[in-house]
């Protein structure tokens, strides 16, 4: 029994006329009659009473008709679901992000827009350190990730470079330098630093260390914090000072003051990454397309902003 047999039977049941049903289906009447005979033979009983000018459903046909309609409707829903999934309108997308990336307005903005454009795609969001996100991407535990990863860490992954952001200095609010508008990094040479561990993500750690060394000193690391938000809280507790991406300044922790860096300002780079072999997954494609779509206006606005 094939799906077309059910469609043929439904058309005849609704038209109660083989010729009109054939015209509606766009086929000749003799092949239609033959197909119905094959269906009846398979079922083992007639579905129609055939008269010279009319057709009637038998009791078997009346019993069969609603189930035939249900089967056709189920098949049509299945086809529609498959087509929507192929377009990325339906499915499941697992998104990872670092703690600092979650503060970058670009990231929650993209996730929110994706949810609005594709409401039937279930989003599974996971916050992890960059090192864990890289491991999860390669193990296919997540589909895409917003992370800060060095070039060697991104090998084997497809990536989209996102706008970088300045590093700022997070100081205890009672620190003598907290009242300044800008601070030269060399002024922090004798300070204790709270740093994001290198094991959690080499790029951000190396950027901070390199910035201090270019300023003329090696930072004295008093404490490492597993998340960027906890770095800020340790600064509030007076453990030390820290360098943080500009977007972290949204975290208004009591007892913390954010100050811009004078001179050449180090920048924190952010990437969207996903395994190369799943780049054609429709939901991933749609997210990547949305990110690329948003990047043009963002970069144009940034280029128009005055520096300093």
Q: How far is CA 24 from the centre of its chain?
A: 45
In the structure, what pLDDT confidence band is assigned to residue 71 with cuts at 50, 70 and 90?
very high
User: What residues contact residue 253 under an 8 Å CB cut-off, 6+ apart?
Assistant: 232, 233, 235, 236
> pLDDT at position 296, please?
66
264 shares a domain with 225 = yes
Confidence band for 45, pLDDT divided at 50, 70 and 90: very high
Mean predicted confidence (pLDDT) in 25-45: 93
Residues 180 and 216 in one domain: yes
* Residue bearing the bigger pLDDT, 299 or 157: 157
Mean pLDDT of all residues in 91-110: 91
Let me know whether 192 and 258 are in one domain: yes
Task: Round the average pLDDT of the chain to a whole number and report it.
Answer: 90
CATH number at residue 56: 1.10.10.10
153 and 275 co-located in one domain: yes
Task: Report phi then psi at 123, rounded to 5.
Answer: -100, 130
Q: Tell me, what's the pLDDT at 32?
A: 92
- What is the span of the domain harbouring residue 41? 3-87
Same domain, 49 and 119: no
For the whole model, what pTM was predicted?
0.75
Indicate if the pLDDT at residue 303 is higher than 50.
no
**What number is the average pLDDT over the span 219-226?**
92
Per-residue pLDDT at 7 exceeds 60:
yes
Whether the CB-CB separation of 100 and 244 falls below 8 Å is answered with: yes
For residue 308, what pLDDT is reported? Answer: 47
Count of domains for the chain: 3
Q: Does residue 36 carry a pLDDT above 90?
A: yes
- Of the residues 87, 102, 135, which one is the last residue of a structural domain? 87
- Give the pLDDT confidence of 241-295 residue by residue, as tens digits: 999 999 999 888 899 999 999 999 999 999 999 998 755 688 999 999 999 988 8
Percent of the chain at pLDDT > 70 equals 95
pLDDT tens digits for 164-211? Answer: 999 999 999 999 999 999 999 999 999 999 998 888 888 999 999 999
Looking at 52, 67, 87, the residue that finishes a domain is 87
Same domain, yes or no: 172 and 231: yes
Structural tokens at position 199: 């094991």
> Do 111 and 203 fall into the same domain?
no
Burial class of residue 130 in the structure, from the number of CB atoms within 10 Å of its CB (0-12 exposed, 13-18 middle, 19+ buried)? buried
Inform me whether the pLDDT recorded for 302 exceeds 70: no
Do residues 41 and 172 share a domain?
Answer: no
pLDDT in tens, 128-156: 999 999 999 999 999 999 999 999 999 98
On whether both 156 and 185 belong to a single domain, the answer is no
pLDDT in tens, 228-241: 889 999 999 999 99
Q: What is the mean pLDDT of residues 49-63?
A: 89
State residue 297's pLDDT score: 60
Same domain, 177 and 297: no
pLDDT band at 91 (very low <50, low <70, confident <90, very high): confident
Examine the domain organization and report whether 225 and 137 are in the same domain: no
Which of 67, 87, 107 marks a domain boundary?
87
> Domain of 135: which CATH number?
3.40.190.10
100 and 244 co-located in one domain: no
């Amino acid at each position: 029994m094939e799906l077309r047999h059910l469609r043929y039977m439904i058309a005849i049941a609704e038209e109660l006329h083989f010729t009109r049903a054939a015209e509606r289906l766009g086929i000749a009447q003799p092949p239609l009659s033959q197909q119905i005979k094959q269906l009846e033979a398979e079922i083992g009983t007639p579905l129609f009473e055939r008269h010279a000018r009319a057709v009637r459903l038998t009791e078997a046909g009346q019993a069969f008709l609603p189930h035939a309609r249900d089967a056709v409707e189920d098949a049509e829903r299945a086809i529609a679901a498959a087509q929507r999934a192929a377009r990325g309108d339906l499915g499941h997308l697992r998104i990872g992000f670092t703690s600092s990336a979650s503060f970058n307005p670009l990231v929650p903005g993209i996730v929110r827009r994706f949810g609005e454009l594709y409401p039937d795609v279930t989003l599974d969001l996971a916050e992890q350190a960059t090192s864990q996100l890289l491991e999860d991407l390669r193990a296919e535990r997540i589909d895409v990730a917003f992370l800060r990863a060095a070039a060697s860490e991104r090998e084997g992954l497809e990536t989209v470079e996102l706008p970088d952001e300045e590093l700022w200095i997070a100081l205890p609010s009672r620190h003598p330098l907290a009242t300044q508008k800008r601070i030269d990094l060399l002024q922090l040479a004798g300070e204790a630093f709270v740093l994001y561990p290198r094991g959690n993500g080499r790029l951000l750690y190396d950027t901070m260390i390199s910035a201090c060394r270019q300023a003329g000193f090696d930072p004295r690391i008093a404490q490492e914090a597993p998340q960027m938000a906890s770095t800020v809280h340790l600064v509030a507790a007076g453990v030390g000072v820290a360098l943080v991406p500009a977007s972290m300044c949204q975290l208004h922790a009591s007892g913390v003051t954010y100050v811009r860096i004078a001179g050449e300002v180090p920048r924190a780079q952010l990437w969207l990454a996903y395994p190369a072999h799943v780049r054609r997954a429709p939901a991933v494609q749609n997210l990547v397309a949305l990110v690329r779509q948003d990047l043009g206006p963002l970069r144009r606005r940034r280029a128009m902003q005055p520096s300093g």
